[in-house]
Chain A
């Protein structure tokens, strides 16, 4: 997050896609709809073709309504998770936990809903008993899922890659640059310790400032206080002159604070 804010500072052109409505426009919506139509067709017809004239390896039914529904649903979950993985740019442990966790939760909930206990307690609500156990142990089902996810996800990857080669957006350029030259850690914007009064919050440049206080007789004839307190102002500092402050990196500041001590 800190990195993103730093990037926005260094590359203000990153604001352009938002201002030009690149990612939320009628064109983007139409693309999204086309993509979903295609995915829906794939998610129905590939399981349909795979299941329609097949049986399990022991001859029993797999072409029944409940198995087909369960297979189509699982294909959908896999495709959605794969798409989510594609769209996640920063993989932290939290992301890993939620992505794999939601897949695991789906299987856990499915097997629970299709379990014997649920059927015996709530018979009319959970009629899909045994479906997951009997259809998901078939290699046929997993091969169908693999094919469906390939057909749904690979066009997206290919399209993104081609657009990155032919018409890279500012986002792509910045990410490429970031990966190529591993940038140093961004310098901290302001230190936490307020040793030097030069680094007090910029918010004070919006307010009236302490000019009146500083130029009053209370301060003029006293030595400037080496302060550890926040919010005190040096008499000859820019704030005293009601001018905005300029930030300095740490090294220079330490040198200055040492000089102010002496």
Chain B
């Protein structure tokens, strides 16, 4: 890839270790990038929509993941190409921001890139294309606001929300239990939602999974689950109004950090030491008892003797609880983590309504449930399933359902799905294009064409004739002036998405268009790629 040669044929060296790098410039660079971006979107294209196909991904360790969640596919795909990584980032940011529509955003970006390629062929400067796209995205954004509608629901009547979540779950593998999962998701969101501020903190919803049992056993826990059991098999399995001492010191004899030796040279010393040791254990347990704790959660292990003493004094205890979980428990129960027995005071105890140990099925697994915690409304969705693959997929599906419910609570503006919003935007952008003088006009038209790609992919995945269906829907929209006509993916018999009850959140859709445009602009602006040549 030498750039210039002197008269002896030796290249000038401009970049450090130039000969080890490969370089692409100008139109070649843009085309290479576009083709990489398109390759990624082509992979996801068939996963779009309720009839979208799944992808089977085999991880470096040989585990199998089957999913049609765009963000997950891209995450697991282990891409190497820089532009492809940008697309992965794109879908991830949609995931973080909205949680849904991760496939759609990549497909849209791919379509935009494909259109841009044609424009480049015709000699339009990439910057002009980028600007045209920007204008078009603004038109589409505003148009979405116009066609948006309000979605009505109340806390007392969660049925509409459940229906919505069920729509989301319909395309997933877990549709066997969509009803119960949707209910769990809606209840979880409502219990952490701040309806006045219209805010939902999804961090308060922990989604946990454990292999074993079946999908139907999945439940919503109003509190925290810890994958531990009581230290002694015969401690009480259920504690009401628990006062929890959260300790980071072990129930073991003291171990001063300085090195020391205790020499035993007489029988008396031996005996005093023995008594001291007994007293020490006794004191430890007594201190916990004195401050009124009814449950001890400890980061470290217990000595057998201490364990029995605890059991004997009717003080249930949990040992070997991880640091992170310990913190979570402390936050949720309003307790303080206590590093020494001497520092235990009643105020430092955490409080929880019920702490119970639950055992599962025929397997020996036990989990600890800490429910009705003093401080927070944290909830845990506890997923059960036959294998890891199922649990992971359920986690993802529940996550999507949670996001949908959250988005509706945050902002109950919706647009109708099935590609109707895209078609409507496409018509609006197309119409607006003629008003723009200059080269951008072409880019804006290309944008409108790219928007058509999404319904086209939907139709294709549903086994319909893509072009035929799209043109029918488009003409219907214009003829009836009805922006809610979309692709009839489920073969219901009507193209009106209001009747089919298929809708997406307005912010989700707007975000899709903005993010896709942004990334495409970024890719178009790259005209030189220097990378270490990998041979």
A and B are interacting partners: no
